[in-house]
Structure 1
């Protein structure tokens, strides 16, 4: 910007004392005006540098926006190969598709939605008349704990139920709680959905379980449907857990080779960290003879023993070829003591474990503990009481519960399951005593409730998903409810055409702004105004002059000219290496104006573009979005323009221009602090020169005033002497 040098006001001036009538200020100003000419030229040159920097930085912003907001998106398949999706049953499932989705129909059968767990008090919970504390609201005392998903929550009866809600919400248990004072009900729910979510109270103290079930009236044990509740983990031995986790000291891998009587051979490869006993049993039971019939039988009996036998004595099982580790596993872990080596032959009577290796349904669950408890099972109409003991066997527990006729209890793979027997029935076990609640929760490890994954068949293939929205093969499915739907994925030709037209308009706008600056003429007669010149002009005239002085600063600029030429070539040159008959912008109806005055403006022939897309739906994507993977990046010197699509080329060219602008003018219009760009360095050089010259001008102005002050002093003395002489002569 321009600046001027002001007089030094602190100077002690004595001119005017002589009465000479000389206008010293005017004379000094005229002298300084001449002296300031080199200074004014420097300030004008600095202003021009600042204006050029400003002009460049305007393009830095606009080109960057064009690259990031327009070109980047126009390289993506979702833009250039857009798809539209129609669902035949939007109440069951809706869908969207990206550019990678194949334009085909998908059959969708939603079997169940993913869900979390919500538990609400089955009735009003306040038994007292005062809700100020838990003690007064529920008639409990002291402090006790309850567990929610493994997190300990302390229940202090001297605090309020709202403080308990806060403690639960802060525990990090994956659940949230709330208390509705108007309805007088407590609600707890999982923060997420899917089978990995749930609400598990196991580990809670007896008093804590009683508080949850009989005070807050929660627990899934009062809402058991035919889907049931199951132990959260195995109660003892689990035939579905990996072998290494079930048998101490077992590790590594082995191969069990079974040869049937007709020569059929089965090799069972076992990885003890992955394979379970159930896996081995299933593989043995799947062995077929030459006629396709089951040739071998394996199982675990109710006493916890493993059994292996052949179909009949005429077709025995031989273990020849099994490795030593496999024989050791049969002998030492499964206790098949008759199988001493691989020469053993197993007939129809089979071999059985010499002692229990799994869960014995007839053994006491908690030996030596004869504590009794009562389980009350109600389906809303009928109620049955079952009295049990901790030292009952699992079989006795199953028999007692199943005898009620209201529930079905089973024990499989080391886990206990309880379900409502009749369809539509909902069981309530909340009337069970505190000891029973503790046995069900901490003894049988019944999880209060688990969330469920979505189950859906897509094109006949069953898949489980933890959420109701997921993406497969480029199609995002949004499950709404159970039911069937046909999802029709189609090429969205009209959207692609619209995208192309929008991009071409953006390109033309960018090109026009570049051409405008390149074509502007620079008039050297219009230099930046000095402050003195501005003071002498009207504001409107100053604006007009400044606008004219800024015009043409980037006339024929090499950076913009290179970018313009590169942008044009990006559209005119064909793309090599792509298949199909469409390889250039012109082949799909995008051409440059034949009018040279339009300086490369593009036009879109919609009819030709639509025909190309109907013939080859990926034509636009291949021409614009193709990327040559032999180049490490678009800024790499090895960039091969001919093997890259138009948008890829444009991204590279604009990126290069932006980098060149940064080298020339930095990233911001402000000159302060920019000491790296070419214009930033020039500005600093001018600033240093202007500062030096300003000091010299101030010194010169001071010298002028000092000279006139001395002249005034001399004239004053002369006048005094003259007056004295006149007085003497006159006397």
Structure 2
């Protein structure tokens, strides 16, 4: 910006002119070109916002619909049904093969639990308080420790590979409570155990967090100083878990460390033992494929509607963006109403958006060559609307379900087939490619909705306008200063003239009085 020297502004004191208003009127006329530039900038910014709104919709459609539609995994989804879901359930992976599994649960996997073999309290009517210091409760324990107030014991667990995790706990009976001791055991994450005291049974339980009967002992407990763990708490020196034991499709005695396991890309979950086999049937999830195609059609129509709204929105050329002076004369409601018309139709009949609609429609309506079974959307119950509907799709739900149930692999190939040339590409592959191209074109024109600074066509034009606006504002500032200097000089000249006139009048008066 240009720095200007301050001007002593004299506003019509001598001349009687309304200097302030005259200069404001002169500047109002001079600001007309600047206002045009500001209006051009506002129109470009509105255009950019409209473009980016469409771009965001394209990006969301690509992520949630166009991209999944080109992947075989979208159409290879499987489902599993159980004859008794209270006993066994299953979740198939994408590569699971259809089939039936007969599963009999003979034993569930269990954690290793070390439970007090006897009640801790000497009296059933006056039990220990687990939140009071151990020393204060010593007399209530059925098997109290000796005279020492410093006790210790060790807990050892083992990793699946047999490596041990051992921790020695020291207990100060004058400070520690039973619950604080158990809390320290729980806090030792490396042991992988949980410990608690149950007041109803008056016993302590220490259990592993994993199930299974591993080759090593699951929990080992040994007293180091006194007999607090094995004596006072009546815990056992060792504890072991249990494996799940199942019969699957005639193969008996299968053992698993956990009640949830994966076999042939199917994850089974055992919930209870069974007297007879539970049948698990695995097959293609045709309902999910149906919902995928139907949701795609709905979102594709919504995307086209959004683009067509921009293409068909009326343009009110007489409604230009308001200047700041104009806004000062209107209410907020009047400003909103005016700007609604001013920014309407900025993308009307836009060639970029029109071409995007054409290409998206072509990607879905052109048959896929070289396929057996289904080669078009029409074959699976999806048809296009009339021409004036702009490519809207309609779903015949009964025909779509029938096509998916009859030949899900052909439906998959219709959408996911890979090829170099356009005609042989699957509909999902084509659509994904065309959406990518559309995003790139709109981004080149107006930028991405997720970036603040870009080098798009509209952004460059806006920056050029900013430079022109800055130059013009500097020129107008100089012009206004010049006007003030000129009018100030006029006032100063008139003041000098008035002073001279007064002086001459005084001289003439003195000459007349001497005659």
TM-score tier, shorter chain, comes to 0.7 to 0.9
Partner of 1:456: 246
Tell me the SS of whatever aligns to 2:43.
helix
1:215 aligns with 2:232: yes
Alpha-carbon deviations, 1:23-50, whole Å to 9, x = none?
1111111211122122212212221221
Alpha-carbon deviations, 1:431-461, whole Å to 9, x = none?
xxxxxxxxxxxxxxxxx22333433333234
1:51: how far off? 1.4
Partner of 2:155: 147
Within 5 Å, give how 1:164-175 maps onto structure 2: 164-171=181-188, 172-175=190-193
Partner of 2:279: 486
The question of whether the paired residues in 1 share the 8 Å contact of 2:359 and 2:434 is answered with: yes
The question of whether the paired residues in 2 share the 8 Å contact of 1:133 and 1:157 is answered with: no
Distance 2:435 2:255 in 1: 46
Distance 1:182 1:724 in 2: 119
1:533 to 317, 326, 338: 326
Tell me the SS of whatever aligns to 1:201.
strand
The question of whether the paired residues in 2 share the 8 Å contact of 1:77 and 1:621 is answered with: yes
1:591 aligns with 2:372: no
Distance 1:96 1:712 in 2: 94
1:173: how far off? 0.8
Distance 1:95 1:60 in 2: 41
1:476 aligns with 2:484: no
1:78: how far off? 6.4
1:102: how far off? 4.1
The question of whether the paired residues in 2 share the 8 Å contact of 1:95 and 1:475 is answered with: yes
1:84: how far off? 4.6
2:458 to 673, 679, 690: 679
1:490: how far off? 4.6
Partner of 1:651: 432
Inter-CA distance 471–11: structure 2 relative to 1 (3 Å threshold): farther
1:612 to 399, 403, 426: 403
1:146: how far off? 0.7
Q: Decide which structure has the larger Cα Rg and report it.
A: 1
Distance 2:450 2:145 in 1: 74
Deviates more, 1:31-40 or 1:187-196: 187-196
Deviates more, 1:704-713 or 1:112-121: 112-121
Partner of 1:543: 336
Partner of 2:53: 58
Alpha-carbon deviations, 1:378-430, whole Å to 9, x = none?
xxxxxxxxxxxxxxxxxxxxxxxxxxxxxxxxxxxxxxxxxxxxxxxxxxxxx
- Superposed CA RMSD in Å reads 3.2
1:156 to 141, 152, 171: 171
Partner of 1:702: 481
Distance 2:6 2:198 in 1: 80
Distance 2:284 2:492 in 1: 97
The question of whether the paired residues in 1 share the 8 Å contact of 2:113 and 2:205 is answered with: yes
Inter-CA distance 465–517: structure 2 relative to 1 (3 Å threshold): farther
1:660 aligns with 2:441: yes
**TM-score scaled by length of structure 1:** 0.60
**TM-score scaled by length of structure 2:** 0.83
Distance 1:555 1:460 in 2: 69
Partner of 2:29: 34
Distance 1:176 1:36 in 2: 79
The question of whether the paired residues in 2 share the 8 Å contact of 1:77 and 1:100 is answered with: no
1:564 aligns with 2:357: yes
Deviates more, 1:41-50 or 1:718-727: 718-727
1:194 to 193, 206, 212: 212
Alpha-carbon deviations, 1:73-105, whole Å to 9, x = none?
444566545555432222221234455444433
Partner of 2:12: 16
Within 5 Å, give how 1:61-460 maps onto structure 2: 61-75=56-70, 79-80=74-75, 83-97=78-92, 100-126=95-121, 132-134=132-134, 137=138, 138-140=144-146, 141=148, 142-149=150-157, 150-158=165-173, 159-160=175-176, 161-171=178-188, 172-180=190-198, 184-195=202-213, 199-201=218-220, 204=222, 207=225, 210-219=227-236, 448-460=238-250
Inter-CA distance 213–76: structure 2 relative to 1 (3 Å threshold): farther
Instruction: Note the residue ranges of structure 2 that are not aligned, 5 or more in a row.
Output: 139-143, 158-164
Inter-CA distance 129–101: structure 2 relative to 1 (3 Å threshold): closer
The question of whether the paired residues in 1 share the 8 Å contact of 2:297 and 2:393 is answered with: yes
The question of whether the paired residues in 2 share the 8 Å contact of 1:121 and 1:187 is answered with: yes
1:507: how far off? 0.8
Inter-CA distance 581–108: structure 2 relative to 1 (3 Å threshold): same
Instruction: Note the residue ranges of structure 1 that are not aligned, 5 or more in a row.
Output: 222-447, 631-638
The question of whether the paired residues in 2 share the 8 Å contact of 1:57 and 1:661 is answered with: yes
